[in-house]
Amino acid sequence: MLIALLTDIHGNREALSACLAHTRLIGVDRLIFLGDFVGYGADPAWVVDQVRGLVDKGAVALLGNHDAAIDGSDEDMNSVAREAIRWTRNQLGLEQRRFLADLPLIHEEGSVLYVHANGYAPRNWDYMSGPMEAIRHFSRVDAHITFCGHVHVPMLYHMSTTAKVGAFSPVGDNDIPLLPSRTWLAVIGAVGQPRDGVPAANYAVFDTARQTLRYLRVPYDNATAARKVREAGLPEKLALRLEEGR
């Protein structure tokens, strides 16, 4: 079975549409969203409606920190993120807000864990931003494979039988075998706000039969997404990020 892993959509309608079209093209069987459907982008309501529709058809959607901030506190956020969240609150109806508030923090299937930020304390939103953080995760989480987002930049961490941790920066269009002899932490890059210098949307496909992971890049109409951010009166920095991918 092919599972598409999509995360950090952040209200980017153009990027999500392009990724979903791509999942249909390659025949993905299942969708798992790792959170942060809103914040930053100009189409939060549309994105939430799409995801709700997909969840009704069997997709899994998890809670991200931006989703949690809609009905919760935004005090921990930087000023740009906070401004975007405050704008986003006015865009969402009651139903949409309830959908976000009810999202689960984690999802487990066998020895595979899906979560937005990290596996050991999902609600503290610690970033898996380097090998040290990955070691913290590996030392406290039993799952054989963990998929998360939150960092926006794709990265693959792995731990050997002797507890040595390695980090690998994945290159596109390439099936990486997630060997059963290792423990894996796969950080999936952002759909709606890539930050590694490449504006194309990120997502990944996990092949459960072959136990391989493929990181993908999907070019999308980021010029339109950036224009809508400006038209919405959101911070200019958010539009620039979409144009430059950083």
Partner 1 sequence: MRWRLSPGTEIDGFTLLEHLGTGGMAQLWAVTREGDPTPLVMKIPLLVDSDDPLPIVCFETEQMIMPRLSGVHVPRFVATGPLEPMPYIVMERIPGESLKKHLDAVPLPWPEVVTIGAKVAHALHDLHRQHVIHLDVKPSNVMIRETGEAVLIDYGFARHERLPDLLAEEFREPFGTTPYMAPEQVLQDRADPRSDLFALGVMLYFFVTGKRPFGNPRGGQIRRRLWRDPVPPRALAPDCPPWLQEVILRCLEVDPQDRYATAALLALDLENPAHVKLTERAARLERDGGVKTFRRWLKARKAQPLEAPNIAGQLSRAPIVLVAIDLSSGAEDLAEAQRLMIGRILSIEGEARIACVNVLKTSRIAVDILEDEEGRSLHVQRLVQLRHWGAALDIPSERISYSVLEAPDPAAALVDYARRNNVDHIVIGARASSALRRYLGSVSSQVVAEAPCSVTVVRTPRDRRMGDISGEFA
CA 230 – CA 146 distance, rounded (Å): 36
Candidate list 104, 130, 177, 219; residue touching partner 1; CB under 8 A: 177
Q: Which of 24, 58, 162, 197 binds partner 1 (CB under 8 A)?
A: 162
Residue whose CB is less far from partner 1, 171 or 240: 171
160 binds partner 1, rule: CB under 8 A: yes
- Among the candidate windows 46-54, 57-65, 160-168, 195-203, which touches partner 1 by CB under 8 A? 160-168
Pair type for strands 212-218 and 175-177: antiparallel
Q: Does 111 bind partner 1 (CB under 8 A)?
A: no
- Nearest residue (CB) to partner 1, 127 versus 168: 168
Closer by beta carbon to partner 1, 93 or else 166 = 166
167 binds partner 1 (CB under 8 A): yes
Helices (H), the chain: 13-25, 44-56, 65-71, 79-91, 94-101, 131-140, 222-231, 236-244
Q: Kindly tell me the number of DSSP H helices and DSSP E strands found in the chain.
A: 8, 12
Output the six-digit token pair for 125.
């939103």
35: enclosing H helix or E strand: none
Q: Kindly identify the residues of this chain, within the stretch 137-156, that bind partner 1 according to CB under 8 A.
A: 156
Nearer to partner 1, 101 or 179 (CB): 179
In sequence order, what DSSP letters do the residues of 116-154 get, joined into one string? SS-SS-GGGT----SHHHHHHHHHH---SEEEE-SSSS-
CA dist 235 to 82, 98, 182, 229, Å?
Answer: 11, 26, 43, 8
Q: For partner 1, which residue of 73, 79, 90, 181 counts as binding (CB under 8 A)?
A: 181
Contact pattern for partner 1 over residues 68 through 107, marking x by CB under 8 A? ----------------------------------------
User: How far apart are alpha carbons 67 and 198 in whole angstroms?
Assistant: 25
Binding flag, residue 130, partner 1 (CB under 8 A): no
Residues lying near partner 1 in the complex (CB under 8 A) are found at 156, 158, 160-162, 164-168, 171, 174, 176-177, 179-182
